[in-house]
Structure 1
Amino acid sequence: MSETKAQMDTMDWQQLKLDMQAAAESLGIDKIRISSADPFVELKDILIRHREKGFESGFEEKDLDKRTDPSLSHAEPRSIISIAVAYPSKLTDAPRSEKGAYRGMLSRSAWGLDYHQVLRNRLQRLETWIRERVPDALLESMVDTGALVNRAVAERAGIGWTGKNCSIITPEFGSWVYLGEMITNLPLPSDQPVTESCGDCTLCIDACPTGALVGPGQLNAQRCISFITQTKGHIEDDEMKKKIGNRLYGCDTCQIVCPKNKGKHWTQHPELQPDPEQAKPLLLPLLHMTNREFKERFGTSSAAWRGRKPIQRNAILALGHFKDTSAVSVLSDLLLRDERPEIRSAAAWSLGQIGGEEAVLALQNAKEREQDPIVMKELEKSLCPSGS
């Protein structure tokens, strides 16, 4: 019998699990729970129907088998360790939007250091802790960029339950938690799922700005502001452009209204604490920000993963939302000179929202030279009173 097999046969796995959970705080983890590594059969059926309805965001792993079968990510899956790290929900000393100095907003998931880095760090600490006790353990860690659906793992493991807003809601921390998991060949005993639920509450569904929550735990990502703000290219839906408001990245509405989140705010992880000027930046300086300047300003945030273009486009829409007359000259310059059609179409829409002689003149001048059909369509709508 090999030394490794002998150790595996004699290890007290229940005690190892308890010791691991007791060590969570020292590892910078707020909650550790264990699930089986069985395939998520029922989830696959749900995901198939989700795809058939056209509700996917396009950011997901395309292979549904990889999303639901741990054996496709790990050679010997016997259990999955699920972790949660709580993040802040309140911005202390938040700067205000003022006339001529309007600000946008990053969602809480983009505050502080990119949570992918934080979660990978925590999982690495946990891997080290395990290998000190089981040197030959097979471990495969992943954050939400991994193939598996981390919310399904967290729910099965007992981290929390899936709320009607599609977030994992924990009894201790509400839904203000980041999730990660580690597939292992260790036969760790499973924890029990959380029995608490949302009950009859539908506040999140009722509050969703675009009706993207089409039912309890059902999200049409094509209507979700959080996903729309992260897309590249044009946003052609006028209603969506209005609903985005001054959101530059993400949307927290369905979590803010959740009663399970009331009064919950977490500050135990310094690297997740927000810089107010990064979380609520001035809009106008964003419009001419270079790639280098964007990386210097936002490169540490999870909002940087899609680059500066979507955030600049969203900032332009926000200026239209505020009807900021002081932005007309800058928007006019973008409309006439920017090489990116998605920026020009956003500028045309915002100028139409702001209105006034200067804005109309800029729209008319642009219409005489514009070649892109989508931008031209936006110009025509903005110049028509019924389309503004």
Structure 2
Amino acid sequence: MSQSSYNMEKLAADIKRWGKELGFGQVGITDTDLSAAEPRHREWIAQNFHGAMDYMAKHGNKRTRPAELVPGTIRIISVRMDYMAPKVRDSEEVMQDSSLAFISRYALGRDYHKVLRSRLQKLSENIAEVAGPFGYRVFTDSAPVLEVELAQKAGLGWRGKHTLLLSRNAGSWFFLGEIYTDLPLPMDEPIAGHCGKCTACIDVCPTQAIVAPYQVDARRCISYLTIELKDSIPEDLRPLIGNRVYGCDDCQLTCPWNRFAQLTQQADFRVRHGLDNISLVELFSWNEATFQEKMAGSAIYRIGHVQWLRNIAVGLGNAASSPEIIQALESRLNDPSELVREHVAWALRQHAKHR
């Protein structure tokens, strides 16, 4: 074995050790060959399953050809970081109480983009201290990167039928991040799938957005509807959203592999502002200044106050009727936003049907 290859072997082992010290649950390494994934991605775009997420299509092949996104890239260091915080109100209990707001568990704490990016930057600096200056760029759900495909190739898990990454040791309650690099590091073996005949995630999806195993029509996905979609939520889908005002975890909650999920050790992901157990009415009362103050440093901040109110109006429309809920909705009948007014009017019509 040459000295250079020995050093790369040692460096790869060091990278994994440093990654664990920085809070990553697992670190893997793979190459840039996504030729097997490229046709599937193109077909998904061709079927318009990406909906209004134009960024999924506009970068051409850069998403499936990492070296075109970052010239010189020959390896990707893929990492995962667990996010399920301890002492979180049970998700099923929250969803069964229609007066409460269900917020996807990944968004209860600090914005994961900032947390992972800073740790990936630190990991890159650790590498530079040993290997000297090298070419790299860090990503956390922030560029045209096929994160799940890369993570699977890097041995972190396999793509589940809900299209999220699954790990035998950690379920799916984790974030992914990457370092694109020009270092010729040794690679890890990919992981084979272990979903078998299970269709729990497909069966439980409230809007039947998982149209086939391993294929999601984002236009029906509640996470897309409440986060990515900036316009009016289609009326036929509103009743199916229930009280899910930011994202949806149903496919993960039902997945048998999440019996093995790990609680996060990261204080950044602990629940802030009681968002795991908070009423729709309380959230609907927040003005823009309160929203910006409470959601500063949160992933929720990026959708903005208007979209937040739109989502909560749908939740209120699906809630069991009460004078408090009617009063909350009526308080925003003349909201400055046409989008909010439209969804408030719909919500009030829902309650009128049951009087």
Q: TM-score under structure 2 normalisation? A: 0.91
Distance in structure 2 (CA, Å) of the matches to 1:216 and 1:110: 26
Deviation at 1:281, TM superposition (A): 2.7
Q: What SS does structure 2 have at the residue aligned with 1:72? A: helix
Structure 1 match to 2:121: 124
Distance change (3 Å), C-alpha of 1:159 and 1:57: farther
Structure 1 match to 2:44: 50
Alignment pair present for 1:160 and 2:157: yes
- Residue 245 (structure 2) aligned to one of 231, 245, 248: 248
Distance in structure 2 (CA, Å) of the matches to 1:289 and 1:272: 23
- Whether contact under 8 Å (1:107, 1:251) holds in the other structure is yes
- Whether contact under 8 Å (1:232, 1:309) holds in the other structure is no
Alignment pair present for 1:176 and 2:173: yes
Structure 1 match to 2:15: 20
Distance change (3 Å), C-alpha of 1:122 and 1:97: closer
- Residue 84 (structure 1) aligned to one of 80, 85, 102: 80
Q: Deviations over 1:350-377 (max 9, x none)?
A: 111212xxxxxxxxxxxxxxxxxxxxxx
Q: How does 1:347-386 map to 2 (within 5 A)?
A: 347-355=344-352
> Which ranges in structure 1 are unaligned for 5 or more consecutive residues?
1-6, 356-381
Q: Deviations over 1:199-253 (max 9, x none)?
A: 1101000111111001111000000011101122211323x11111111100000
Q: What SS does structure 1 have at the residue aligned with 2:203? A: helix
Deviation at 1:101, TM superposition (A): 9.8
Deviation at 1:164, TM superposition (A): 0.4
Distance change (3 Å), C-alpha of 1:298 and 1:50: same
- Whether contact under 8 Å (1:67, 1:147) holds in the other structure is yes
AA in 2 matched with 1:155: Q
Q: Deviations over 1:88-132 (max 9, x none)?
A: 16653569879x993211101212110101110110111111011
Q: How does 1:1-388 map to 2 (within 5 A)?
A: 9=4, 12-38=7-33, 40-59=34-53, 60-61=55-56, 62-88=58-84, 91-92=87-88, 102-230=99-227, 231-238=229-236, 240-262=237-259, 264-275=261-272, 277-325=274-322, 326-335=324-333, 337-355=334-352
Distance in structure 2 (CA, Å) of the matches to 1:104 and 1:204: 22
Deviation at 1:327, TM superposition (A): 2.1
Distance in structure 1 (CA, Å) of the matches to 2:279 and 2:205: 25
Q: What SS does structure 2 have at the residue aligned with 1:179? A: strand
Deviation at 1:11, TM superposition (A): 6.0
AA in 1 matched with 2:308: I
Deviation at 1:64, TM superposition (A): 3.1
Q: Deviations over 1:275-320 (max 9, x none)?
A: 3612333222333423221111122221111111122111111112
Deviation at 1:263, TM superposition (A): 5.2
Distance in structure 2 (CA, Å) of the matches to 1:111 and 1:200: 32
- Whether contact under 8 Å (1:89, 1:264) holds in the other structure is no
Q: What SS does structure 2 have at the residue aligned with 1:23? A: helix
> Which ranges in structure 2 are unaligned for 5 or more consecutive residues?
none
Distance in structure 2 (CA, Å) of the matches to 1:267 and 1:344: 39
**Which piece of structure 1 moves more, 278-287 or 346-355?**
278-287
Structure 2 match to 1:360: none
- Whether contact under 8 Å (2:111, 2:297) holds in the other structure is yes
Structure 2 match to 1:358: none
Distance in structure 1 (CA, Å) of the matches to 2:234 and 2:158: 35
Deviation at 1:13, TM superposition (A): 0.7
Q: What SS does structure 1 have at the residue aligned with 2:230? A: coil
Distance change (3 Å), C-alpha of 1:234 and 1:101: closer
Higher relative contact order (CA 8 A, sep 6+): 2
**Which piece of structure 1 moves more, 66-75 or 247-256?**
66-75
Q: What SS does structure 1 have at the residue aligned with 2:331? A: helix
- Whether contact under 8 Å (1:106, 1:280) holds in the other structure is no
Same amino acid, percent of matched pairs: 31
Distance change (3 Å), C-alpha of 1:166 and 1:232: same
Deviation at 1:73, TM superposition (A): 2.2
Distance in structure 2 (CA, Å) of the matches to 1:12 and 1:306: 45
Q: What SS does structure 2 have at the residue aligned with 1:310? A: helix
Distance in structure 1 (CA, Å) of the matches to 2:326 and 2:85: 34
Distance in structure 1 (CA, Å) of the matches to 2:77 and 2:42: 26
Q: TM-score under structure 1 normalisation? A: 0.84
AA in 2 matched with 1:22: R
Distance in structure 1 (CA, Å) of the matches to 2:222 and 2:135: 39
